[in-house]
Structure 1
Amino acid sequence: MSRGPFSKYIAIVAITLLIGSVTIYIWLPKPSLGNQYSYSTAIFDRHGELLRLTLAKDQRYRLATPIEQIPQAMRQATILYEDQNYYSHLGIDIAALLRAFWQTYITQERRIGASTIVMQVARLRWRISTGSISGKLEQMARALQLSRHYSKDEILEAYFNLASYGGNIEGVGAASLIYFNKPVHQLSTPEALTLAVIPQNPNKRNPATAQGFAALRTARERLFTRWQHYNLANEIDTTTVSMPLKVRSISELPFNAPHFVEHVLTEQSPMTHGYLQTSLDMPLQLRLEQILRSYVLKRHNEGFSNASALLLNTDSMEIEAMLGSASFFDAAIEGQVNGTLAKRSPGSTLKPFVYGLALDAGIIHPATILKDLPRRFGGFTPENFGGGFKGPISAQQALIASRNVPAVALQAALNDVSSDRSTQTFYQMLERAGIEQLQAEEHYGLALALGGGEVTMLELIQLYAMLNNNGMHQAANIGIPIERPDPEQLLSPEAAFLLTDMLQNNPNPLRSFAQTDHNLGLNAQPIAWKTGTSWAYRDAWAVGVVGNYALAVWIGNFNGQGNPAFVGAQAAGPLLFQMLEIVQQSSRFIPAIDKLAIAKNLNLKRIDVCRPSGDLYTPACPEMTQTWFIPGVSPIRASQVYRFVAIDPATGLRACNNYAADTIQQVYAFWPSDMTALFQQAGIFIQQPPAFNPECDINYASIEGHAPIIQSPDKHIEYLMRDSQQATVPIVLQASADADTQKLYWFANQQFVGESTPIANAQQPLVWDAKPGVYELHVSDDLGRSSSTNITVRSIH
Structure 2
Amino acid sequence: MRADGNKGVAIYAAKTVRGQIIAKSLAVCGIPASFDSDPTAAIAKIEKGEAALLVVDVNNHLQAEIDLVRSLAAHLTDCLLMTHTDPRDLATLEALGIDGANCISGPLDPERIYVAVDAFFAIADHAKPIDRQSCGKQWRMSARGRRARQNARNVFRRAMAAPKGGLWRWWRKVTRWSLMLRPMRRLLSAVAILSAGAAAGYLFWCLSTLPDIDRLNHFSPFKASKLYSSDNQLLAELYEQRRTPVPLRDVPQHVRQAFIAVEDARYFQHSGIDPVRIAGALWADIKAGGYHQGGSTITQQLSKMIFLNPEKTITRKIKEMAIALMLERTYSKDRILELYLNQAYFGSQAYGIQAAAEAYFGKDVKQLRVAEGALLAALPKAPNAYSPFRNPERSRQRRDHVLQRMEINGFIPRDTCQRAVREALPRVFHGRQYQSPYFIDYCQKRLEETYGDRLATTGLKVYTTLDARLQAAAEAAISRGMADLKARGVADVQAALVALALDTGQIKAMVGGTDYDRTQFNRATQALRQPGSAFKPLVYMAALKKGFRPDSLIQDLPVAIPVNNGRQTWRPRNYTGRFNGEVTVKEALTRSLNAATVNLALQVGLKDIIETARTAGIQSKLHAVYPTVLGASEVTLIELVTAYGTLATGRQVVPVSVDRIIDKAAAFIWDPGEAPSTILPSASVAAIREMLAAVVTDGTARRAQCLDRPVYGKTGTTNANADALFIGFDDELVVGVWVGRDNREPIGPKETGARTALPIWIDFMQHAPAGGVRMASFQRVAQ
Distance 1:353 1:186, change over 3 A: farther
C-alpha displacement at 1:128, in angstroms?
1.9
For residues 573-722 of structure 1, the aligned pairs below 5 Å read: 573-584=758-769, 588=772
SS in 2 for 1:553: strand
Task: State how far apart, in whole Å, the 2-side matches of 1:230 and 1:240 are.
Answer: 11
Partner of 1:71: 250
Letter in 1 for 2:358: L
Partner of 2:393: 211
User: Is the strand fraction higher in 1 or 2?
Assistant: 1
Partner of 2:141: none
Letter in 1 for 2:505: M
Distance 1:532 1:138, change over 3 A: same
SS in 2 for 1:284: helix
Give the conservation status (yes or no) of the 8 Å contact 2:501–2:774: no
- In the alignment, which of 427, 441, 450 is matched to residue 610 of structure 2? 427
C-alpha displacement at 1:348, in angstroms?
1.6
Task: State how far apart, in whole Å, the 2-side matches of 1:238 and 1:251 are.
Answer: 26
Partner of 1:495: 684
Distance 1:356 1:339, change over 3 A: same
SS in 1 for 2:493: coil
Q: Quick check: 1:528 aligned with 2:708?
A: no
- In the alignment, which of 153, 176, 184 is matched to residue 357 of structure 2? 176
Q: Deviation string for 1:540-562 (max 9, x for gaps)?
A: 11112134222211121111123
Partner of 1:546: 730
Partner of 1:306: 494
Task: State how far apart, in whole Å, the 1-side matches of 2:562 and 2:316 are.
Answer: 83
SS in 2 for 1:339: coil
- In the alignment, which of 569, 574, 581 is matched to residue 391 of structure 1? 581
Task: State how far apart, in whole Å, the 1-side matches of 2:715 and 2:344 are.
Answer: 55
C-alpha displacement at 1:469, in angstroms?
4.3
C-alpha displacement at 1:457, in angstroms?
0.9
SS in 2 for 1:93: coil
SS in 1 for 2:695: coil
Q: Quick check: 1:445 aligned with 2:606?
A: no
SS in 2 for 1:444: coil
Partner of 1:4: 165
Task: State how far apart, in whole Å, the 2-side matches of 1:227 and 1:471 are.
Answer: 70
Partner of 2:652: 472
For residues 84-483 of structure 1, the aligned pairs below 5 Å read: 92-95=272-275, 97-100=277-280, 104=284, 112-124=293-305, 127-130=309-312, 136-137=317-318, 139-140=320-321, 159-160=340-341, 162-166=343-347, 169-182=350-363, 194-203=375-384, 205-208=386-389, 210-211=392-393, 214-215=396-397, 217-219=399-401, 221-222=403-404, 247=426, 249-250=428-429, 256-269=435-448, 270-271=452-453, 272-273=455-456, 278=464, 279=466, 281=468, 283-301=472-490, 305-315=493-503, 317-328=505-516, 335-341=519-525, 342-359=527-544, 361=545, 363-375=547-559, 382-415=572-605, 425-438=608-621, 443-467=623-647, 469-477=649-657
Give the conservation status (yes or no) of the 8 Å contact 2:258–2:403: no
Task: State how far apart, in whole Å, the 2-side matches of 1:142 and 1:123 are.
Answer: 9
Partner of 2:38: none
Distance 1:3 1:368, change over 3 A: closer
SS in 2 for 1:495: helix
Give the conservation status (yes or no) of the 8 Å contact 1:358–1:414: yes
Root-mean-square deviation (Å): 5.1
Structure 1 length-normalised TM: 0.57
Q: Deviation string for 1:53-91 (max 9, x for gaps)?
A: 6785xxxxx31324459834388457644457779977x
Give the conservation status (yes or no) of the 8 Å contact 2:496–2:512: yes
SS in 2 for 1:529: strand
Task: State how far apart, in whole Å, the 1-side matches of 2:404 and 2:617 are.
Answer: 62
Task: State how far apart, in whole Å, the 1-side matches of 2:405 and 2:654 are.
Answer: 55
Task: State how far apart, in whole Å, the 1-side matches of 2:217 and 2:495 are.
Answer: 48
State how many pairs are aligned: 555
Task: State how far apart, in whole Å, the 2-side matches of 1:255 and 1:179 are.
Answer: 17
Structure 2 length-normalised TM: 0.58
SS in 2 for 1:114: coil
Give the conservation status (yes or no) of the 8 Å contact 1:31–1:146: no
Letter in 2 for 1:298: A
C-alpha displacement at 1:401, in angstroms?
1.4
SS in 1 for 2:510: strand
Letter in 2 for 1:262: D
Give the conservation status (yes or no) of the 8 Å contact 1:77–1:227: no
Distance 1:492 1:370, change over 3 A: same
C-alpha displacement at 1:191, in angstroms?
5.3
Q: Deviation string for 1:718-776 (max 9, x for gaps)?
A: xxxxxxxxxxxxxxxxxxxxxxxxxxxxxxxxxxxxxxxxxxxxxxxxxxxxxxxxxxx
Task: State how far apart, in whole Å, the 2-side matches of 1:168 and 1:244 are.
Answer: 25
Give the conservation status (yes or no) of the 8 Å contact 1:166–1:207: no
Give the conservation status (yes or no) of the 8 Å contact 1:63–1:161: no
- In the alignment, which of 741, 756, 767 is matched to residue 557 of structure 1? 741
Task: State how far apart, in whole Å, the 2-side matches of 1:354 and 1:227 are.
Answer: 81
Letter in 2 for 1:582: H
SS in 1 for 2:705: coil
Give the conservation status (yes or no) of the 8 Å contact 1:122–1:139: yes
Task: State how far apart, in whole Å, the 1-side matches of 2:577 and 2:700 are.
Answer: 25
User: Is the helix fraction higher in 1 or 2?
Assistant: 2
SS in 1 for 2:696: coil
SS in 2 for 1:259: helix
Distance 1:578 1:141, change over 3 A: same
C-alpha displacement at 1:488, in angstroms?
4.6
C-alpha displacement at 1:477, in angstroms?
1.2
Give the conservation status (yes or no) of the 8 Å contact 1:509–1:570: no
Q: Deviation string for 1:323-349 (max 9, x for gaps)?
A: 32233455xxxx443211211111121
SS in 2 for 1:250: coil
Structure 1 gap segments, 5+ residues each: 57-61, 232-236, 419-424, 592-797
SS in 1 for 2:725: strand
Q: Deviation string for 1:577-607 (max 9, x for gaps)?
A: 23322335x785689xxxxxxxxxxxxxxxx
C-alpha displacement at 1:411, in angstroms?
4.2
Give the conservation status (yes or no) of the 8 Å contact 2:482–2:493: no
SS in 2 for 1:374: coil
C-alpha displacement at 1:106, in angstroms?
8.3
Letter in 2 for 1:179: Y
Give the conservation status (yes or no) of the 8 Å contact 1:370–1:392: yes
Q: Deviation string for 1:278-328 (max 9, x for gaps)?
A: 425253344234313312312324x67332222334355343433322334
Q: Quick check: 1:505 aligned with 2:694?
A: yes
Letter in 2 for 1:472: Q
Give the conservation status (yes or no) of the 8 Å contact 2:732–2:774: yes
Give the conservation status (yes or no) of the 8 Å contact 1:324–1:340: yes
SS in 2 for 1:472: coil
Structure 2 gap segments, 5+ residues each: 1-161, 170-191, 564-569, 662-669, 776-783
Distance 1:295 1:80, change over 3 A: same
Give the conservation status (yes or no) of the 8 Å contact 2:248–2:338: no
Give the conservation status (yes or no) of the 8 Å contact 1:372–1:390: yes
Task: State how far apart, in whole Å, the 2-side matches of 1:2 and 1:382 are.
Answer: 110
Give the conservation status (yes or no) of the 8 Å contact 2:499–2:509: yes
